[in-house]
Structures are given as C-alpha cells and as structure tokens.
C-alpha cells in the first residue's frame, strides 16, 4: 500500500485535507458519469498508486505512468478499449482532481480505434430472429430495429419520453450528450401502449409499498426530492426486481438489465441458424441500411442515429454502395 497519506494538498492546517478518492468520486458524480465509469476510474487510480507505493500521484510523471501501463499490458493484456479507459481515467485524475496536467501525458502512445464495418441483417433474417425471441423481449428488440436506438437508450426509456399523440420518442443525454427525436413506428403503438399499462401497474404497486422512486439526475433530485416517484419518470421497461443504489444505499426500481436482451438476441440467432456474429447493435445497423435503401438521405440518418458528425454515418453508404454485407 502507499506509505503516504493520500490526501490532497491543503493550506489550512487546522482542517484535514480531503481524501483523494473521495474527491475523485465527487468529481465523477458532478460530471454525471455512470456508476460503471466511476468504479473503473477509481480502480485505475488505485492500481497506479499500488504500483508506485512510495510516490504520491502528484510526484509522478509520464515515466511512472508509462511504466505502470506497460506492467498492466504484460501481466493481464490490454484490449483497445481498456487502453483508452486507462488513459481517460488517469487524465481525469490529474486534471479534475489534482488540478494539473500530467507532464508528458500527451506524448504517451495513444491507441487508435480500428474502423469497424457495420454488420447488418436482411429484413428476412431479422424477422427470423424475432420469431425465436421470448415474448418479453419482442418489443424492445423491435424498437431497436424500428428506431435505430442504442441498447441503453431503449432500456432506460422513461414514460415521459414517449409521445403517443405525435408518435415520437425523445432521447436525452445520449452518447456525446446529444438530445434527439426518433419516430415511433405505427406498428409498435399497440404493444407499447400495453407495455406502458403494465409499467403503470408496477409503479402503482411501488407507490403503495412506499418504495423509493426511480433514479433521476442528482441535480434534478436536489430541486425536487420526490421527482423519482412521479409516473412520468418511471421506466417504460422496469425491472421486475428491486436493487440497491451503491452511491446512496437506497432501494429502488431499476430499468430492465441490458444483458437480458443481449443474451436473448444471441439465443434467438442460434435457434434461427444464423451463423454470422450479431448483437443488439446489429439491429441498429440493420435499421440504418433499410433507411438508406428506402431513399432517405444520409444527413437525416445521422440525426436519427445521434452521430456527432456525418463521418460515422458514411460507413453505411459505403457499405450500401459495395452491395454486400462483409459478415454474410
């Protein structure tokens, strides 16, 4: 363990300095990062400190960080996403918590993400998969295919974000902090109304049992502590079981876990005899390809998919022009 007290520099000797990890967690939450990101960033900070037990992070430079990353790579191996996460976590530690730029951080080798060609399915293949899906997974899977939503955007959909009158779905704080609107397919309206009714019954039962409300952004909860108990903020796809929020210790109703749908899609593919690898994201890719085939332009598709720029969207046009699916 580190032999030095992991406190931040502090001029007021009458009051103890805050602990580094407490401030790290506070800053992560202020940025509204997910719990998964919080755990990862704290873990990388702990690993760095354990690797250099005699040095405080403020005393380290690019040399120490590079040695640490090389050690991790040689012992457990580094995937591209892990490298990116480690560098992002350490950059956050230094800039947001220690208030400094890590000397030499910008000169460290940066992993480059290879360009992936989207894998898509034909409409017939998609319908074959749906035919082998358990009933409870039908609607979210069809929403992914019918709207181009990302998996987490779908499972975290709230009642207030579905407008049955205008037949639109509003997506907030998505990847890249972008808000967008996607059309609600007419064919899914009856099923989505039924799902909302089922969710309403569960919400009413939670209210009768005085179960704390669902998670809402902390800044909104500070303004209205009861906001999470309101029907509009309830999940469209609530989990059948309760969970404990690690940050607050409160028991609440979470949305349905994303892995449930991911695993169901893989099982359905196996049963359908489709050999190529696909995931929930493949339904999003398939939506994009069908959208372009229907004659819509790439800029409209970019807005529907929530891409920050048109470059990522152009992958679909190039694949369409090539006339084939690389995974087929």
pLDDT at 240 over 80: yes
Domain count for the chain, please give it.
2
- Kindly write down the DSSP assignment for every residue of 120-144, as one continuous string: ---HHHHHHHHHTS-HHHHHHHHHH
Domain limit, last residue, from 107, 131, 153: 107
pLDDT in tens, 280-303: 999 999 999 999 999 999 999 999
Which of 133, 161, 159 has the alpha carbon at shortest distance from 145?
133
From 51-55, 72-76, 175-179, the region with the lowest mean pLDDT: 72-76
Per 3-state DSSP, what percentage of the chain is helix, strand, and coil (rounded to 5)? 55, 5, 40
Q: Whole-angstrom Cα distance, residue 188 to residue 282? A: 19
Highest mean predicted confidence (pLDDT) among 18-22, 57-61, 82-86, 186-190: 186-190
- Has residue 56 been placed in a domain? yes
Q: What is the pLDDT of residues 97-154, one digit of tens each?
A: 888 877 666 555 555 555 667 888 999 999 999 999 999 999 999 999 999 999 999 9
pLDDT the model gives residue 3? 40
Look at residue 153 and tell me if it is in a domain. yes
- Co-location of 54 and 137 in the same domain: no
The CA distance from 39 to 78, in Å, is: 18
Percentage of the chain modeled with pLDDT above 70 = 86
Per-residue pLDDT band for 54 (boundaries 50, 70, 90) equals: confident
In sequence order, what are the beta bridge partners of 181? 170
Say what the pLDDT of residue 147 is. 96
Domain of 182? Answer: 123-322
159 occurs within a structural domain: yes
More confident site: 249 or 182:
182
């Amino acid at each position: 363990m580190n032999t030095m007290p992991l406190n931040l520099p502090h001029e007021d000797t009458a009051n103890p300095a805050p602990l580094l990890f407490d401030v790290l967690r506070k800053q992560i939450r202020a940025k509204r990062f997910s719990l998964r990101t919080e755990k990862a960033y704290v873990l990388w900070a702990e690993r760095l400190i354990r690797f250099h037990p005699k040095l405080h992070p403020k005393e380290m430079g690019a040399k120490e960080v590079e040695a640490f990353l090389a050690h991790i790579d040689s012992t457990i191996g580094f995937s591209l996403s892990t490298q990116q996460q480690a560098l992002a976590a350490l950059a956050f530690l230094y800039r947001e918590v220690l208030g400094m730029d890590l000397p030499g951080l910008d000169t460290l080798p940066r992993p480059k993400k290879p360009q992936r060609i989207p894998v898509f399915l034909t409409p017939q293949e998609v319908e074959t998969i749906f035919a082998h899906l358990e009933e409870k997974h039908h609607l979210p899977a069809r929403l992914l295919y019918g709207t181009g939503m990302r998996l987490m955007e779908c499972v975290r959909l709230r009642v207030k974000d579905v407008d049955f009158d205008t037949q639109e779905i509003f997506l907030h704080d998505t990847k890249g902090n972008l808000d967008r609107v996607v059309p609600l397919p007419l064919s899914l309206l009856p099923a989505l109304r039924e799902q909302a009714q089922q969710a309403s019954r569960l919400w009413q039962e939670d209210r009768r049992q005085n179960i704390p409300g669902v998670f809402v952004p902390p800044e909104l909860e500070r303004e209205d502590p009861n906001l999470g108990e309101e029907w509009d903020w309830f999940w469209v796809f609530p989990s059948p079981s309760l969970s404990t929020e690690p940050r607050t210790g409160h028991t609440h109703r979470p949305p349905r876990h994303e892995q449930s749908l991911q695993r169901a899609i893989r099982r359905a593919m196996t049963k359908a005899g489709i050999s190529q690898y696909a995931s929930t994201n493949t339904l999003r890719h398939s939506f994009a390809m069908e959208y372009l085939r229907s004659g819509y332009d790439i800029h409209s598709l970019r807005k529907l998919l929530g891409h920050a720029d048109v470059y990522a969207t152009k992958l679909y046009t190039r694949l369409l022009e090539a006339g084939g699916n690389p995974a087929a």
